[in-house]
Amino acid sequence: MIFETVAITEFLKLHRARVHWFTLGALMMGPLGLALFMWIAMEPDRAATLGLLGTKAELTGIEATWASYSGFLVQIVGTGGMLLLAFIVAYVFGREYDEGTAKNLLALPVARHWFVLAKFIVAGAWWLAIVVAMLAEAVVIGLALGLPGFSATVVVQTVGNALLAAGISYLLVPVVAWITVWGRGFMAPLGFALGMLLLGNVFGSTGWAVWFPWSIVPLLVGSVGPAVSALPAGSYIVVALTFVAGVIGTIAQLRYADCAQ
């Protein structure tokens, strides 16, 4: 009952905020940009008439097929989305410090771990909603473009891979929440997320990729080489441990550290 109440209030706090529209817009730009490149790749003559943009599209060597389109969509969710999800979590936790309400929250007759869990629920629901909206948009755009190779199997595979990448990204994000409450603001977690994205890509090219949490998604979606068809069990354990460490760290930070906001 307490958790339900806390979760409801966390959703209420988003009312009239514009930030979820911003994140939705940012993620939905991905398929639009990708579609433009696909459209150019479908008709090589278009590249010549589009100047630099056309040249860039040619250089990427994109194939105008559903299989290629699907692969890039999963990469958008897996890599760009990882950064966007970090922004969402930094906002959900960091706004309490930015708006001066953390002190009000932490002196309520509610155990602090309920707020942490409720905020993770809100961030998860928000993330799932924008990923699903983006995938729906991508399917519509793909059909409108008339890309060859469309089938229900391709769509199911795309959605499945994208949701797996989104899910693994979500499991990594409690560490971002921990850094947000430790740093009491937005800058530290966003810097951390950007740093991990870069490090993930660096480790992705080494033999350590399956063990470094932030390399696992790039490895899975193929943004650091060919996408792997299956991750070793150890990678899932690393991700699970990262999730648990992030949740425990966030709760411990709120419970035991001074709130001198």
Partner 1 sequence: MSTDSVITTRALTKRYRDVLAVDSLELDVRCGEIYGFLGRNGAGKTTTIRMLLGLIRPTSGEVRVLGQAVRDGDQRWLARVGFLVESASAYPNLTVRENLDVQRRLTGAAPGSVERAIDRLGLGAYADRVSGKLSLGNKQRLSLARALLHEPEVLLLDEPANGLDPAGIVEVRALLRELADERGVTVFMSSHILPEVAHLADRIGIIHEGRLIEEAGRDEFTARARAFVADSLTAEEREQALLTADLERYFLARTGTSEPGDAA
**43 vs 99, which CB is nearer to partner 1?**
99
Measure the CA–CA gap between 175 and 55, rounded to whole angstroms: 40
Binding-site member from 99, 129, 148, 187 for partner 1 (CB under 8 A): 99
Interface with partner 1, residue 5, by CB under 8 A: yes
Binding-site member from 50, 110, 188, 199 for partner 1 (CB under 8 A): 110
Measure the CA–CA gap between 90 and 67, rounded to whole angstroms: 34
Residues 15-54, one symbol each (x = binds partner 1 by CB under 8 A, - = not), give xxx-------------------------------------
Q: How far is CA 66 from the centre of its chain?
A: 23
Tell which positions 229-258 bind partner 1, by CB under 8 A.
255-256, 258
Residues 111-140, one symbol each (x = binds partner 1 by CB under 8 A, - = not), give xx----------------------------
Spell out the alpha helix ranges (H) of the chain.
2-12, 19-42, 44-49, 51-60, 66-75, 81-98, 102-106, 112-145, 152-172, 174-183, 187-204, 213-221, 233-256
**9 vs 65, which CB is nearer to partner 1?**
9
CB atoms under 10 Å from CB of 62, counted, come to: 18
Which residue type occupies 164?
A: L
Name which of 233, 229, 235, 230 is nearest 215 in CA terms.
235
Binding-site member from 49, 60, 101, 206 for partner 1 (CB under 8 A): 101
Binding window for partner 1 (CB under 8 A); candidates: 74-82, 98-106, 171-179, 203-211: 98-106
Measure the CA–CA gap between 66 and 221, rounded to whole angstroms: 16
**Number of residues in contact with partner 1, rule: CB under 8 A?**
26
Binding site for partner 1 (CB under 8 A): 5-6, 8-9, 12-13, 15-17, 99-101, 103-104, 106-112, 255-256, 258-260
